Structure 1
Amino acid sequence: MGLQDRQKRGFRRFIRSFAYAIEGLKHVIKKEQNMFVHIGFAIITILFAWMLDFPILHWMILLLVIGGMLSLEIMNTAIERTVDLITEEYHPLAKRAKDIAASAVFVFGIFAAIIGILLFLPPLIEWFQIVFGGV
């Protein structure tokens, strides 16, 4: 293994990769409105799950869905910025690439909402029955 190969694989490079990832995450949270909205909904959802005393399996599913949603939004932003880097002028293919990336977030969001309904509906029904005495 040559010197260049070792430089690409060092422990310091591995640690720096975390710093780069955190820098990217901070940027997306600060600059992207949709990410801010997703994080807000994630916090509200987690609070409701905690109040409803979700079982561990529901927590695992919920956190997986939230993580998937946030990750897809980050990837969507990365694709949009890459397209912007290639061309600042309007181009139908650039628009298509951005639209397709956004559609990935949209599709996942639809399924996340369905999963949320399936996770939250039974405990909410039970909670209403307890609070309102089966009214």
Structure 2
Amino acid sequence: MARIKEFFKSFAHAFRGLKYAIINERNFQNELLVAIIAFGAMLYYRVTRLETIVIITMVMAVLVMEMLNTIVERIIDILKPSVHPYARLIKDLMAASVLLTSIMALIIGLVIFIPYVF
């Protein structure tokens, strides 16, 4: 019984983290809006099963990268409250990781949706 309780408790922690990102992180909110639009387009254009899998994977990749970026930023803020050159570099590298993932998602989204639109 205790194992089941711990199992569901871990979900509560996960949903609390997700709620934090949705409420407090503007970039996450923006990316979530784009995700909703992508899912709407996916349903509207009735994309193939493979395209659906790719779209869901890319949307989730962007959201996960944004959460990882937030995690690293918070850890750095705790460990190095003063601006250290390496702290800034790490934050910039994490932001670049989110950017590259977003660019990849955009390109893949265009490759999938352009034939349906035109």
Query: Do Structure 1 and Structure 2 share a fold, with TM-score over 0.5?
Result: yes
Displacement of 1:11: 3.6
> CA deviation digits over 1:32-84, x for unaligned, max 9?
00000000011111111211111111111100100111111111100100101
Greater C-alpha radius of gyration: 1
Identity %, equivalent residues: 31
Shift of 1:15: 2.0
Q: Which residue of 2 aligns with 1:57?
A: 50
TM-score by length of 2: 0.93
Q: Of 7, 12, 30, which residue of structure 2 is paired with 1:19?
A: 12
Other-structure match for 2:37: 44
Which structure carries more relative contact order (alpha carbon 8 Å, separation 6+)?
Answer: 2
Query: Which consecutive residues of structure 1, in runs of 5 or more, have no partner in the other structure?
Result: 1-6, 126-135
Task: Work out the CA distance in 1 between the residues paired with 2:107 and 2:38.
Answer: 14
Separation in 2 of the partners of 1:121 and 1:78? 35
Which TM-score applies when normalising by structure 1?
A: 0.82
What is the match of residue 84 of structure 2? Answer: 91
- Which amino acid letter does the alignment assign opposite residue 74 of structure 2? R
Partner residue in 2 for 1:124: 117
After TM superposition, list the pairs within 5 Å mapping 1:5-16 onto structure 2.
Answer: 10-16=3-9
How many residues are aligned here?
A: 117
In 2: Cα distance, 1:104 partner to 1:13 partner:
33
Cα root mean square deviation, aligned: 1.3
